[in-house]
Amino acid sequence: MHVLIVFCHPEPDSFNGALRDVAIETLTSQGHSIEISDLYAEEFNPVEGPTHFPNRADPDVFFPLTEQRHAFESGSLPGDIRREINRLERADLVILQFPLWWHAQPAMLKGWFDRVFVYGGLYSGGMRYDRGRFPDKRVICSVTTGAPASTFSRHGRSGHIVTLMWPIHYSLYYLGVQVLPPQITYGVQGGGLSYEAEAEFRERLEAEKSAWAQRLEGLAGESAIPFAGWSDWDERGMLDETHPWAWRL
């Protein structure tokens, strides 16, 4: 299997960096090949805008989706985007490694979604959700948080983790990939901000690294998060009322 790790952290020696290294070591020792998109180290530009499109479909008004499709179809996508798409296409498994910042992915990774998930290339009106481009690709988010696990429970003070992950997971499902349940490492708050004593904190982080390694070893047997698909929606895009999930609405 070929694995792409999209690493989104400004500090290579952070705990996120340690989790990246755990993934590299574990998957390499299983015989898998690894490729890294190191967004900060590679100085990825996450801001979508007109400067990336010198050969415009519409030189007067900048419509991002129009220009993305035109650039894809005319073979004039920026080099960094072509590189990221090639990396994505090669991968059987994609690991997105990032810290939770302001209840979401860091802007750097959000911008990677904005620019790399090219309209008219990676998705379109007829090529999304369970008719998406990448039905065989599996993606997993490995996320660290500062706050402890209990606070991410339903109505907890950090917000429900399922709700916080929803926009990220749903964007990935939009591309048609299989989204695996996330690996969330809670309470990674060093630098004197920790909720626990230093020794206890360090010991827990080591255990979290082992848990990630163990999970990666068994990842092949895991099932993806179930989402509704085209056969579940009516012509208004609503869940059909005969669908088994409809009673929850």
Long-range contacts of 218-225 (CB under 8 A, 24+ apart): 219/93, 219/138, 219/140, 219/180, 222/180, 222/181, 224/138, 224/178, 224/179, 224/180, 225/169, 225/173, 225/179, 225/180, 225/181
Q: Point out which span in 63-71, 79-87, 94-102, 225-233 binds ligand FMN (CB under 6 A).
A: 94-102
What residues from 19 to 48 belong to the interface with ligand FMN (CB under 6 A)? none
Cβ 101 to ligand FMN shortest distance, Å: 4
What residues from 139 to 158 belong to the interface with ligand FMN (CB under 6 A)? 144-147, 158
The runs of H, that is alpha helices, within 105-181 are: 107-116, 161-174
User: Which residues, 6+ apart, have CB-to-CB distance to 36 below 8 Å?
Assistant: 4, 5, 6, 7, 20, 24
- Which token pair is 131? 């008719």
E strand or H helix at 20 = helix 15-29
117 binds ligand FMN (CB under 6 A): no
Rule CB under 6 A: choose which of 33, 55, 92, 103 binds ligand FMN.
Answer: 103
Rule CB under 6 A: choose which of 3, 5, 15, 178 binds ligand FMN.
Answer: 15
Burial class (CB in 10 A: 0-12, 13-18, 19+), 194: middle
Cβ 30 to ligand FMN shortest distance, Å: 24
What residues from 200 to 239 belong to the interface with ligand FMN (CB under 6 A)? none
Cβ 196 to ligand FMN shortest distance, Å: 14
Rule CB under 6 A: choose which of 1, 14, 83, 149 binds ligand FMN.
Answer: 14
Cβ 22 to ligand FMN shortest distance, Å: 12
Cβ 188 to ligand FMN shortest distance, Å: 4
Binding footprint of ligand FMN on the chain (CB under 6 A):
9, 14-16, 99-103, 144-147, 158, 188-190
